[in-house]
């Protein structure tokens, strides 16, 4: 069974630029999560989708971050404009949803904002 | 603010010893409890989950949950150098909701 796929793996941008990350969850997983992990911290939820609807985006900085999950499969996370404090690893995870809450993580995208 | 607390470590144990990792959580309504292992530069990898009070064993790993004390632990028996990593404790409030993570405990196993 293929795992969660993410791209790119690494990205370096300057502040005020924009960036987008892509995630493809495990086949059949209805729920998709985006987490932000700052160095030395545990992952923190940014947004959760159930199929193509948003379940929780309470911690998403909506003035600069946006996310979508078209057709209930792939998802993109965008930052525009980026700030220095956005430097982190962005992790995508998926789970079966309400029937099972074990989450499986992709390899992550390491973002450096200069 | 729902919190998960872990001692950041590092926790150092010799090869073959038992490593004990601890975690406390603030929300008494937490339903599910997870331990993830994260190697440097890698993403979190699920080790175990536990839902009910008591012990759950899987190979060299044992998770222990005490809901009355709001405490969950992970024991690693016969520790190996390959177990050296950061161990993340996480909880969910309901099935299908997001994980709330602690900051992680760094374990170092010396040969």
Cα gap B36→A81, rounded to integer Å:
32
CB-based contact A104 B103, cutoff 8 Å:
no
> By 3-state DSSP, what share of chain A in percent is helix, strand and coil, each rounded to 5?
5, 50, 45
Mean of the per-residue pLDDT values of chain A: 94
Nearest to B95 among A98, A104, A105 (CB): A98
pLDDT tens digits, residue range B34-50? 999 999 999 999 999 99
Cis amide linkage into residue B10, ω under 30° from 0: yes
- Measure in Å the smallest separation between the Cα of A32 and chain B Cα atoms: 10
Compute chain A's Rg from CA coordinates: 13
pLDDT in tens, A48-66: 999 889 999 999 999 999 9
- Is the pLDDT confidence value at B92 over 70? yes
Asked whether residue B55 carries a pLDDT value surpassing 90, the answer given is yes
What is the pLDDT confidence band of residue A98, given thresholds at 50, 70 and 90? low
Is the pLDDT assigned to residue B52 strictly greater than 70? yes
Residue A99, pLDDT above cutoff 70: no
The secondary structure of B23-65, three-state, reads: EEECCCCCCEEEEEEECCCCCCEEEEEECCCEEEEECCEEEEE
């Amino acid at each position: 069974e293929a795992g969660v796929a993410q791209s790119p793996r690494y990205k370096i941008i300057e502040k005020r630029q924009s960036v987008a990350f892509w995630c493809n969850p495990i086949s059949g997983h209805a729920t998709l999560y985006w987490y932000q992990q700052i160095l030395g911290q545990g992952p923190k939820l940014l947004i959760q989708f159930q199929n193509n609807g948003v379940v929780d985006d309470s911690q998403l900085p909506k003035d600069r971050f946006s996310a979508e999950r078209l057709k209930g499969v792939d998802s993109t996370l965008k930052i525009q404009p980026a700030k220095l404090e956005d430097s982190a690893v962005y992790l995508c995870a998926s789970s079966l949803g309400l029937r099972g809450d074990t989450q499986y993580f992709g390899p992550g995208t390491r973002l450096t904002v200069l | 603010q729902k919190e998960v607390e872990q001692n950041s470590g590092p926790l150092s144990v010799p090869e073959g010893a038992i490593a004990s990792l601890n975690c406390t959580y603030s929300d008494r309504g937490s339903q599910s409890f997870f331990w993830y292992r994260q190697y440097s530069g890698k993403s979190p990898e699920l080790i175990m989950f536990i839902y009910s009070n008591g012990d759950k064993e899987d190979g060299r790993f044992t998770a222990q949950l005490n809901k009355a004390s709001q405490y969950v632990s992970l024991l690693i028996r016969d520790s190996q150098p390959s177990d050296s990593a950061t161990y993340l404790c996480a909880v969910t409030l309901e099935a299908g909701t997001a994980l709330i993570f602690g900051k992680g405990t760094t374990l170092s196993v010396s040969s």
